[in-house]
Chain A
Amino acid sequence: MTPIEKVEGRAIPFGLKNVDTDVIIPAKWLKTISREGLGRGAFETLRADPDNLFDRPEYKQAPILIAGDNFGCGSSREHAAWALGDLGIRVVIAPSYSDIFSGNAVKNGILPVVLPQAAIDRLLEVAATDPIHVDLDTQTVTTRFQDRFSFDIDPFRKMCLLNGLDEISLTEKSEAAIAAHEKKIATDQPWLIPAIL
């Protein structure tokens, strides 16, 4: 996973509310058995419109996406995060996310920044003409117009994103605790282990 610390660049001023993962990546793209190349299907329905935001020259390869409330709601498909990543997005900024989406984003090295609607409105304005700076270390979003918005992030997620860490290796360090839990249920709740049929 590529670590994230500072991301600077154009931000797609998308802003739409309740964008579900079917919009981010339609179901027909879920049939792959690999993770690459999904950027082509990202926002496919919206991009059918020749005048869509995503394909405008100034937003091609933009590393930041500004979205509305409840971004990534709906289906748990991780393909949504893969598709955004494949499109070149490193940071999403929105007032709120579905829990599953923000988890998937972090796991795939995409930073989900939460800012209040007023800040989003201002950033949408700036994004129309100028780049935006996101600094994960200082937890701030800034612009060249002296805007400065601070955001909160779970410290564990921050650590994972800053270091590009893979969660499985982290969890494997807890082997003793996992084994102890397994032993406890095997003794106290043997009925939990389904019989082999």
Chain B
Amino acid sequence: MTRPRTLYEKIWDAHVVEQRPDGTCLIFIDRHLVHEVTSPQAFAGLRASGRTVRRPDLTLAVPDHNLPTTARRDASGNRLPIADAESAAQLAALETNAPAFGIRYIDAVAPEQGIVHVVGPEQGFSLPGTTIVCGDSHTACHGGIGALAFGIGTSEVEHVLATQTLLLQPAKTMEVRVEGEVGPGVTAKDIILHITGVIGAAGGTGHVIEYTGSAIRALSVEGRLTVSNMAIEGGARAGLIAPDATTFAYLKGRPYAPKGADWDAAVAYWTSLATDPGATYDKTVVIDAADIAPSVTWGTSPEDVVPITGIVPAPDSFADPSKQAAAAKSLAYMGLEPGTRMQDVAIENIFIGSCTNSRIEDLRAAAAVLKGRHKAAGVKWAIVVPGSGLVKAQAEAEGLDRIFTDAGLEWREPGCSACLGMNPDKVPAGERCASTSNRNFVGRQGPGSRTHLVSPAMAAAAAVTGRLTDVRELID
């Protein structure tokens, strides 16, 4: 009998190419997703050393980070140039590098183009039980379908391109179990914000987190991707959710997913990956789903989470002196006074998008709140950015785009957009944004921007009232 193993251990073991005496392992990478920002130096490195891409068939490139989300073609269908010279240079580099190295490339105006972490699962390129890497820290997202997915830096991108492997230390395992049923208005985003608040921004450091429990099982694949996406915000190397019938139903028939007899063999294998009864984790945190409210961040660390019914905390309410100092700094940056009710915080900008919350289910949730309503006068800028061209087409087929535009929100082309201040979509200095993205760091949405992380439904509610709002007041 083999020792009972966790989902993480099974995937890890199946990918060890070689183990070094010190425990470091050479791990085979099944899928490599490449985008325009973290790859130019890697391709330049390959050229300089005369290396090639070892497995172009396991590599997929798509631009997303700095593409403007405004129209990409003019009225007569010609491609519009990117105004920013550096962004244009990065896109041009990817457009040259992908074909030069024989890599599949989804170009900026292809119907399948989108945020790399939306595109991977949507194309069935990301599969359960695989190892996936990408030069973006939210690669953990693919853990939502049961893939062991890591964000890597540019040197590692070059290493994977050249060798299809990565040198990694085995991680510790952590289980975050969410049991029970969530209340109305509580979404996958609220679950992961709540978890991050409980475990802290460094709570998962050195660990891979497996999310388990009935509240996780009940989530759609879209919701699971949202949860796993933010594993990194709890400091973890990756997140994982065991693949099950929900996952298989989502993947079946997608372009790169296995077909026919291959599909059956794959499902049998994926089913065998679930954590064995009796397997142990290095750490377990149990959360009662009933304790989770629609949540919002008040500070500049994703652990700075309160329920929407809560107040801005006072720095001295924290036991840890360095957290007190960090909280005081956060509040100064955010322009917030301790004791202020979160629901009294006025919002000027709304961003619905990012690899955390730009899938069809997210857009439906936002549209459900916005239907027949209009954004408040105080909301100056409100954009909805679908995660991919396919999500965009689906939303348009369902008439969601009309709901957004009728409500006074802008309907954009797919991309990372205001998730990070790299493309023209930025939040002005000193202004607040209710954002469905994953990071509320200083300057993340543009220099001086003040981010409040929320779910799509909560962002929609804030758009309607012009302040952070308990979405439960707007739904029946």
Contacts and interface: CB of A to CB of B under 8 A. Distances in A.
Interface of A: 17-18, 20, 22-23, 26-28, 30-35, 45, 68-70, 73-79, 81, 96, 98-100, 103-104, 107-108, 154-156, 167-168, 171-172, 174, 177-178, 180-182, 185, 189-197
B127 A192 contact: yes
Contacts of B26: 171, 174, 177-178
Contacts of B51: 168
Interface string B5-18: 00000000000011
The 8 lowest CB-CB distance pairs between A and B, nearest first, are A78-B153, A31-B86, A191-B258, A191-B262, A33-B40, A76-B137, A76-B151, A194-B256
Contact of B421 (A18, A28, A74, A193): A28
A51 B55 CA distance: 50
A151 B45 CA distance: 33
A192 to B, nearest CB: 6
9 contacts: A27-B420, A30-B37, A31-B86, A35-B41, A96-B205, A98-B205, A181-B28, A190-B262, A194-B125
Contacts of A96: 202, 205
Given A171-B26, A191-B263, A74 B205 contact: no
B266 interface: yes
A186 B165 CA distance: 16
B326 interface: yes
Interface string B164-205: 110101000000000000000000000000000000011001
A73 B201 CA distance: 9
Contact of A26 (B17, B127, B447): B447
Most buried by A among B164, B205, B323: B205
A28 B163 contact: no
Contacts of A177: 17-18, 26
Nearest to A30: B37
Interface stretch (B335-343, B368-376, B396-404, B436-444): B436-444
A53 to B, nearest CB: 15
A69 B237 CA distance: 17
Nearest to B125: A194
Given A107-B153, A193-B57, A156 B22 contact: yes
Interface string B319-348: 000110110000000000000000000000
Contacts of A156: 20, 22, 24, 167
Contacts of A73: 201-202, 235
Contacts of A194: 57-58, 125, 256
Given A172-B163, A178-B163, A196 B205 contact: no
B155 to A, nearest CB: 4
B41 A33 contact: yes
Contact of A108 (B17, B155, B159, B256): B155
Contacts of B349: none
Contact of A76 (B18, B22, B135, B205): B135
A100 B169 CA distance: 12
Interface in B41-75: 41, 44, 49, 51, 55, 57-58, 66
Nearest to A106: B155
Contact of A100 (B20, B28, B151): B151
B30 interface: yes
Nearest to B51: A168
B155 A78 contact: yes
Nearest to B84: A31
B287 interface: no
Contact of B447 (A45, A76, A178, A182): A45
B103 interface: no
Contacts of A168: 49, 51, 158-159, 162-163
A77 B156 CA distance: 11
Nearest to B55: A182
B156 A68 contact: no
Interface string B398-439: 000000000000000000000011100000000000000001
A36 B89 CA distance: 16
A171 B167 contact: yes
Contacts of A99: 205-206, 237
Nearest to B124: A194
Contact of B422 (A28, A81, A189): A28
B14 to A, nearest CB: 9
B155 A167 contact: yes
B66 A31 contact: yes
B442 A33 contact: no
Interface in B67-95: 84, 86-87, 89-90, 93
Contact of A69 (B152, B202, B262): B202
Contacts of A27: 420-422, 443-444
A103 B123 CA distance: 30
Given A33-B86, A104-B155, 6 more contacts: A17-B323, A20-B441, A70-B201, A76-B38, A190-B262, A193-B58
Contact of A191 (B41, B205, B265, B421): B265
B22 A107 contact: no
B367 to A, nearest CB: 29
Contact of A74 (B155, B322, B441): B441
Contacts of A181: 17, 28
